[in-house]
Structure formats: C-alpha cells, structure tokens
Amino acid sequence: MRKLKAKIMDAVGLERTLTRLSHEIIEKNKGAGNLVIVGIKTRGAIIAQRITKRIEEIEQTKLNIGLLDITLYRDDLLGKLEQPEFKGTDIIFSIAGKDVILVDDVLFTGRTIRAALDELIDLGRPNTIQLAVLIDRGHRQLPVKADFVGKNVPTSIDESIRVHLKETDGHDEVLLMHPETQA
C-alpha cells in the first residue's frame, strides 16, 4: 500500500495547466497549421485529446490526433514477468513533414519516450517531434527532455505519481504517493 504524500493538482489546476500547455504549443509553433498531436496510451492519449480540443478552440481549426501504443518498442519486452498487452497504434494520417506534439502524462526514466520516438520515426519522417508532459518527476535514465512541461515535481526514486483523469478514473487530480510500505 502506498500512502498519499501530497495532492499536486486538483481538477481546476489540471484544467488551467492544460490550457497553458496548449497556448505554449501554439506560441512556439506560431500557430497550429502544421501540427499533429500524438498521445501515448493510455493516459497520455487522453491528455492529448484534451490539448487537441483546446488548440482547436483557440485556433479555430481541426487537428489530426493519433494514439500510440509503444508496447512493441519497449526495451524490456522480452524480460518482463508480466506480459504487456498490445492494444495497437491508431495513427491514420501521415506524419511526414509534420510538427508532431508527442504527449504523455508523466516523464520519468525517458524509456517510454525513446520507444515512442523510434515508433514515430518508423511511421514516417516528421519535421519536428516536440514532447509535452503533464508532470516531469525527474530521474532520467536516457537523455530526454520535454519541450512543454505542466509541472516539475521533484520526487525520490521510490515515490510514485498517480494521474487520475475523468475518462479513466472518474475525476481529475494528480497525487504524489509515499514509497510502498511493507505491510
């Protein structure tokens, strides 16, 4: 059992953070004309949908959004005790020449992002890939850096971050949890 250490974001805070991220993405790319959004399953995909909706509202446009399942590109696939489920990637448009905003919920070791980058590049040659994350909790094991960060949260390695979203968990919040206790 993990015990709650701190509530990092509530529902209102999470909404505001996503709004700010959306504005930053538009500002840096000087509009949304060449953007496509790709979310990493499962919660990154939901955050990607929400960011997409905001950018569409702000810029009065429609964006292509794709969902990435990085299971086949994991570096621990053949050694894991529990078999990861492969639910499939869903990107029905070409990413060649596009500015891809890759979206995930929590940036931690960087291994998921490495897998996502490899898969994206197999799907085509984008102009740029930019990374947007809701939470950056540090402890990178690979040289990965996010372009857009909702909130930097310093953590110890054995703490954990829980992102709860309406679509999957019934409500919006981000929690920092204490290390697992042997009970």
Residues in contact with other proteins by CB under 8 A are 69, 71-74, 77-81, 83-84, 86-90, 118-119, 122-124
Q: How far is the CB of 54 from other proteins (least distance, A)?
A: 28
Return the CA Rg of the chain.
16
Q: How far is the CB of 174 from other proteins (least distance, A)?
A: 29
Q: How far is the CB of 143 from other proteins (least distance, A)?
A: 20
Q: How far is CA 120 from CA 20, 52, 67, 97, in A?
A: 25, 18, 11, 12
* Residue 73 vs 148, nearer CB to other proteins: 73
First to last CA, the chain: 7
Structure tokens that stand for 79 in this block:
């050694």
* Residue 3 vs 80, nearer CB to other proteins: 80
* Residue 1 vs 81, nearer CB to other proteins: 81
3-state secondary structure of 143: coil
